[in-house]
Structure 1
Amino acid sequence: MTGRRRSSSFRSIRTAVACAAAMTATGSLLSGCGLVPSASGATKDPVTVMTWAPEGTSATNMPGMPAMAEAYARWVNKQGGINGRELNVITCNERNDTVSAGRCARRAVKEDVAAVVGSYSQHGRSFMSRLEGAGIPYIGGYGASDEEFTSPHSYPVNGGNAALVAGSGRQLSSGCERVALVRPDTISGDQMPSLLDAGLAHGDKPHAVDVRAPEDATQYTEHAELALAGATGSADGTGTVSGACVTAALGDRTDTFFDSFRRLESAGEHIRIASVLGSVQQSLVDRTGGADSPFEGALVTGWYPPANDPAWEPMREVVREHAFGDNDVDVTDPGVQTTWIAYTVLRQVIESLGDEPVTGHTLRQALDDGVGGKGIDTGGLTPPLSWHYEDLLAVRDFPRTANAMVTFQQVRDGRLVPVREGFVNVAQSLEERYADD
């Protein structure tokens, strides 16, 4: 059974978001639904979990994810905990390297955490086997490693980089005749060309030109020239191909690449630029000029609704009241958003256990059972989530994929706004891409 059976836009969930998000909203938002949680203290054994992400590195940094986890814990504990249980969050700096990722996993085992929640790491080989050995579930990882989509102990809330890149290809398949892809020269980056091509195939477009680039460079002039030549079909980038497009997915260095790109004399307005959320997000657009930003008009593919969608209001209120002005917690950051969704999942699973002990084993049982077959409602931020075997997608290399939905967005007047309403299902593109291997 594939994910295509869930191809609706979930409009009924989105239109009822005020009460559909009740399980994750703050007390003031819940009052209108008659669901104000008790402010009494937690009475049962506390639940300890861990959130990790890289901080202070020369490449990818996600400080907002552990900061969001801590804000969530402060909020939920002020409301009396989760089902009467205090939530204790331990954070760890994954440092974007294999040694530190393994160290965080060892600490999780030593601290006997019930789960690792809402975390980021590209180094699944360094941490997943340790979690599996200890029976610890990995709930709502960012989707940056293959192991998140293969391990039976992993419960991803989005389709990871695979869905984003395939979705970007799908978005570019309309209006782009030639596409150059600038991506990291890494193992995970090596998968991107075929994924983008799988999306481009939706519009019968040719394969993208692959431009490998370091993910920690300070300038990308050489790679910008290669991308321009690939998109225009001419060595000097002065070709007249209609629909020339350049897409880059370099994480924190995407801005650096496009800065080099726009300095090229021949990179005029006839070149359309694109990216994926996480490489380009609202805070970057704001920082680079808003409506005057070089990203104005850029096409961006994301996992979730745009940051100004009403479905995010519960998260925004928690951040306002419990993040204490922490600048790391950017509500437009997909890492922060993923952590919020992951803790939404954790909360509903713990509540489904009632008076049962909350352990890695009981959490996995509830997750594998689809929380009683009902799935988990995230208030329209994702489709209802379930990792029961009948709900997983038929993506051979990523068998734990439960959500292959993406959103198409564009920067207009300095704001990321939806290009179309609702979600786009890229399950078929993913299935066909991996079926061809």
Structure 2
Amino acid sequence: MTGRRLTSLLAYLTTAAAGASLLTGCGVIPGATGGSREPVTVMTWAPDGTRATNMPGMPAMAQAYARWVNAKGGIDGHQLRVLTCNEENSPSGASACARRAVRENVTAVVGSYSQHGRAFMAPLEAAGIPYIGGYGISEDEFTSHLSYPVNGGQASLVAGHGMQLAESCRRVSLVRPDTVAGDRLPELLNSGLQRGQHRTATDIPAVEDAGEYSEQAGQARERAGRDKGCVAAVLGERTQTFFDSFRRLPESDAEVRISSVLGSVGQPLVDRSGGSRSPFEGALVTGWYPDAGDPRWNPMRKVIQQQAFEDTRIDPADAGVQTTWIAYTVFAQVVKAVGTDEINARHVARALDGGVKVDTGGLTPPLRWRYEDMLGATGLARVVNPEVTFQVVRQGRLVAQRPGFVNVGETVRTAP
């Protein structure tokens, strides 16, 4: 063989090998037929390092999910690229994250947290980018035509909490943020309480990022009364600060039970405050999903163990982490339903609007976002999952107070 022919043959083999490597990097599943499928880019945002509620586990869970699914060949042959953004608990931070999502041409924003719906939804709507499985803290998540919630938001938690407290409490004090989002919470709690023919709770607004809450704690205990009184605090990350102030109140002979909703109180907080010796022992808690010890969470726990075992930001008992897992479960099934080599935002929104039905393994009811599946309540029109769970802290663990889900759709719908 001449030197020229040998050189040509080596060049051909080198080019072929490089091409095979590139195809593998694009996420082609071994043995699959046809060409490589385009990667899919999404974004997950949440606040981190702020004085109010922080949710660093949500972007961390999104990244762990991407590592896991890409190790298996991607979603239906599409490698998943996850961008993260610190929303900073501010309108400007939320808007900046949304504008970056538009610049990066993401297919969807998935499993994110922000109280500032007006700041982030407008840029997403202008670009046609769907918002899938937000935490459920802003009203815009339940009104925008491009939002696809996986839970009933804080509204369903608080309305459900009223129903839960109606079974155990004669008088209730509600400590909640003195914010626009917090202003509706008393109405929702009262709607649930009145299902049990209770009178309205005492409303105690409080600064969201205060360093202590002695005044509000004393007022809450006094108004709860001495006989089967309950103090409910819904202050997000500052709920622990409130109950620290509550615990330091002078001794009283009043028997007052404490309570909250998931996201303000959860297993990580119970663990940090002493487990079975925690002041939260016996506390009533309303959640969206099964308790953290339920075996239906095992697939998520396996992914965390495989891909993020040493990442202290991710706690499988955290409601933000759980919501992110469910949101990515939804996104993966939608991508598979679309089934094309290239996936864009328009494809995803069209599939969701067209009635793709998502199975979350029992962590929620089956989810579908057709018009007829939606709750249609004022400010909560997009809710398709109005179910909650009643939980209680027993021996330091959040466990089911009653089995199964409780539908609070009618309670939310009739709230003022």
Alignment of 1:21-420 (within 5 A): 43-232=36-225, 240=226, 242-267=227-252, 270-355=255-340, 357-371=342-356, 375-420=357-402
Deviation, structure 1 residue 226: 1.1
1:430 pairs with 2:415: no
CA distance in 1, matches of 2:197, 2:172: 13
Instruction: Write out per-residue CA displacement over residues 179-203 of structure 1, whole angstroms, 9 at most, x where no aligned residue.
Output: 0000001100001000000000110
Change (3 A) 1:221 1:365: same
Q: Which SS does the other structure have where 2:69 is aligned?
A: helix
TM-score (norm 2): 0.91
Cα deviations by residue, 1:368-396 (Å, 9 ceiling, x for unpaired): 1121xxx1000000000011011111312
The question of whether the paired residues in 2 share the 8 Å contact of 1:39 and 1:78 is answered with no
1:40 to partner: Cα distance: 7.4
Aligned pair in 2 of structure 1 residues 40, 194: CA closer, same or farther (>3 Å)? farther
2:123 aligned partner, one-letter code = R
**Per-residue deviation, 1:245:** 0.6
Report the 3-state secondary structure (helix = DSSP H, G, I; strand = E; otherwise coil) of the residue aligned with 2:292. Answer: coil
Q: Distance in 2 between matches of 1:290 and 1:40?
A: 50
Task: From the superposition, tell whether residues 46 and 269 of structure 1 become closer, same or farther in structure 2 (CA, over 3 Å).
Answer: farther
User: What is the DSSP-based 3-state SS (H/G/I as helix, E as strand, rest coil) of the residue aligned with 2:258?
Assistant: strand
| Amino acid of the structure 2 residue aligned with 1:148 | E
The structural deviation recorded for 1:210 is: 0.3
Q: Secondary structure at the match of 2:223?
A: helix
Q: Deviations over 1:273-318 (max 9, x none)?
A: 1000111100111111110000000000000000010000000000
**Structure 2 counterpart SS, 1:45:** coil
CA distance in 1: counterparts of 2:31 and 2:264, whole angstroms: 42
Q: C-alpha separation between the residues in 2 aligned to 1:56 and 1:267? A: 37
Q: Is the 8 A contact 1:178 1:245 kept in 2?
A: yes
| Separation in structure 1 between the aligned mates of residue 186 and residue 309 of structure 2, nearest angstrom | 41
Amino acid at match of 1:361: R
Q: Conserved in 2, the CA contact under 8 Å of 1:304 and 1:407? A: yes
Partner Cα distance (1:384, 1:423) in 2: 13
Number of residue pairs the alignment of both structures matches: 387
- State the 1:323 CA deviation: 1.1
- What CA deviation, in whole Å up to 9, does each residue of 1:148-185 have, x standing for no partner? 00000000000001000001101001121100000001
Task: State which structure, 1 or 2, has the greater radius of gyration over its C-alpha atoms.
Answer: 2
Three-state SS of the structure 2 residue aligned to 1:90 is strand
Query: Does the aligned pair in 1 maintain the 2:234–2:261 contact within 8 Å?
Result: yes
CA distance in structure 2 between the aligned counterparts of 1:278 and 1:267, rounded to whole angstroms: 29
Q: Deviations over 1:312-336 (max 9, x none)?
A: 0000000000014100011000000
Q: Which moved more, 1:256-265 or 1:194-203?
A: 256-265
Amino acid at match of 1:272: R
Report the residue type matching 2:408 in the other structure. V
CA distance, structure 1, for counterparts of residue 380 and residue 42 of structure 2: 25
Provide the residue aligned with 1:11 in structure 2: none
Alpha-carbon distance between aligned partners in 1 of 2:164 and 2:238, rounded to the nearest angstrom = 22
**Runs of at least 5 residues in structure 1 that lack an aligned partner in the other structure:** 1-36, 233-239
Identify which range, 423-432 or 347-356, moves more after superposition: 347-356
Q: Residue type matched to 2:67 in 1?
A: R
Encode CA deviations 1:88-135: one digit per residue, 9 max, x unaligned: 000000000011110000000000000000000000010101000000
RMSD: 1.4
What are the superposed Cα offsets for residues 346-404 of structure 1, whole Å, 9 maximum, x if unpaired? 00000001125311111011101121xxx100000000001101111131221101111
Contact 1:40–1:79 (8 Å) recurs in 2: no
Matched letter for residue 397 of structure 2: R
Q: Secondary structure at the match of 1:76?
A: helix
Q: TM-score, normalised by structure 1?
A: 0.87
Question: Any stretches of 5+ residues in structure 2 without a counterpart?
Answer: 1-27
CA distance in 2, matches of 1:104, 1:389: 29
Shift of 1:410: 0.2
Deviations 1:234-274 (A, max 9, x none): xxxxxx3x211100011111111011111112455710110
